[in-house]
Amino acid sequence: MDQIDQRILRELQADARLSHQELSERVGLSPSPCARRVRRLETEGYITGYGAIVDETRLGFGFNVFVSVKLEQQVDRRLVEFEREARTCPEIVECWLMTGSFDYLLRIAVADLNEYEHFLTGKLTKIPGVASIESSIPIRRVKHQQQRIR
Amino acid sequence: MDQIDQRILRELQADARLSHQELSERVGLSPSPCARRVRRLETEGYITGYGAIVDETRLGFGFNVFVSVKLEQQVDRRLVEFEREARTCPEIVECWLMTGSFDYLLRIAVADLNEYEHFLTGKLTKIPGVASIESSIPIRRVKHQQQRIR
DNA sequence: GATGAAACCTTCACCCC
DNA sequence: GGGGTGAAGGTTTCATC
């Protein structure tokens, strides 16, 4: 992991479809050592994948809600069950198991408040073991990197 | 936005480096109409970019903290100031302006608790107007999509 | 939406420092 | 150990149907 690897990561985080040729120019290398480094970063697990970034609003799920969930009992069976539901549920974009006064923090992506109500009453409250739910609604996304950038 | 466009989006969300040829096979088209559709999705703003996904733990910032921030007064000048700081601060990966009992929700990415303490005392508490801070530490990331997938 | 040809890019063996 | 070169093979792109 030297300077050049870090620049490669930075460039590919900003634009994953860069050709090796273009990338090599930006990091000051010729195409083949550049391609070799990219491959190494992939096989060694620094780069885990490449994704297209889509406009969520245009696709009809630009309304986000943060939800704090408390379970009745933190027994293993309940956690496993909740997490299985969370993983299969498309509205739940993020799910974190938390320390502290509640058990899970979720980020929900839906079209609007109306659709959120449907999700809440139709899905979330029906997951077994859910004791309480607290919704926090953002006004605006100030900053949203997918991940930290070096 | 038909079935094929949605399949293109799904495939590119999963792997942005797919060649048009490979992509065209997966969505049941030949390469050139497929490339035309991708270009249209880009120019019409459905696809806003392509990013490499990196292993944050391997790069030394796999420790996340959620921070709720309250400001002294919600006057415009204070918000603008806080948001400018948030945007330039690399540890702050996400920042949301919130409704409800606190003003901002942040996600912080650092190496460990020790580095978090440095961030807290050296940076966050020094931003003018910050009245109170509450840290919530996740145990585990259960699900983390970059965005909702159709 | 498909075809085909030109231009371009990727990839690999190989050489070099 | 890494970086550069060049040629073969594959991919993108565009006009055209």
Q: Which amino acid appears at position A117 of this protein?
A: E
Could you identify the residue whose CA is nearest to the C1' atom of nucleotide C4?
B32
Q: What are the domain boundaries of chain A? A: 3-43, 63-136
Indicate whether A124 pLDDT > 80.
Answer: yes
pLDDT at A24: 96
Buried/exposed code over B53-78 (b: 16+ C-beta within 10 A; e: otherwise): bbebeebebebbbbbbbbbeeeeeeb
Per residue in B42-100, pLDDT tens? 999 999 999 999 999 999 999 999 999 999 988 999 999 999 999 999 999 999 999 99
Q: Which of A9, A51, A143 sits opposite B92 (nearest CB)?
A: A143
- Cβ of B37 < 7 Å from strand D? no
**Residue B5 CA to C4 C1' — how many Å?**
25
Question: CB contact, 8 Å: B80 with chain A?
Answer: no
In the complex, which nucleotide's C1' lies nearest to the CA atom of residue B34? Answer: C1
pLDDT at position B74 = 84
Q: Check pLDDT > 90 for residue B119.
A: yes
SS3 A121: helix
Contacts of B144 (CB under 8 A, 6+ apart): A93, A94, A95
Q: What is the average pLDDT score of chain A? A: 95
Percent share of chain A, pLDDT over 70 = 100
Q: What is the mean pLDDT of residues A109-120?
A: 97
Tell me: domain B3-43, CATH 3.30.450.40, correct? no
B146 confidence band (pLDDT: 50, 70, 90):
confident
Q: What φ, ψ does residue B65 adopt, rounded to 5°? A: -135, 135
Given a cut of 90, whether residue A130 has pLDDT beyond it is yes
Q: What is the pLDDT of residue B135?
A: 98
Asked if A109 is an interface residue toward chain B (Cβ–Cβ < 8 A), one would say yes
At a 7 A CB cut-off, the residues bordering strand C are A 19-22, 31-32, 35; B 4, 29-33, 36-37
Q: Which residue is nearest to nucleotide D6 (CA to C1')?
A: A32
Query: With 90 as the cut, is the pLDDT of residue B9 above it?
Result: yes
Q: What is the pLDDT of residue B92?
A: 97
Any residues with CB less than 8 A from the CB of A106 and at least 6 apart, and which?
A66, A67, A68, A69, A86, A92, A94, A95, A96
Nucleic strand D within 7 A of Cβ A33: yes
Mean pLDDT across chain B: 95
A147 contacts in chain B (CB < 8 Å): 53-54, 56, 93, 109
A63-136 is classed CATH 3.40.50.720: no
Nucleotide nearest to B30 (CA to C1'): C2
Residue B149 confidence (pLDDT)? 83
How much is the average pLDDT of A52-62?
94
A60 phi-psi bin (left φ>0, alpha ψ -120 to 50, beta other)? left
> Residue A150: its pLDDT value, please?
73
Query: Token digits for B91?
Result: 């540890």
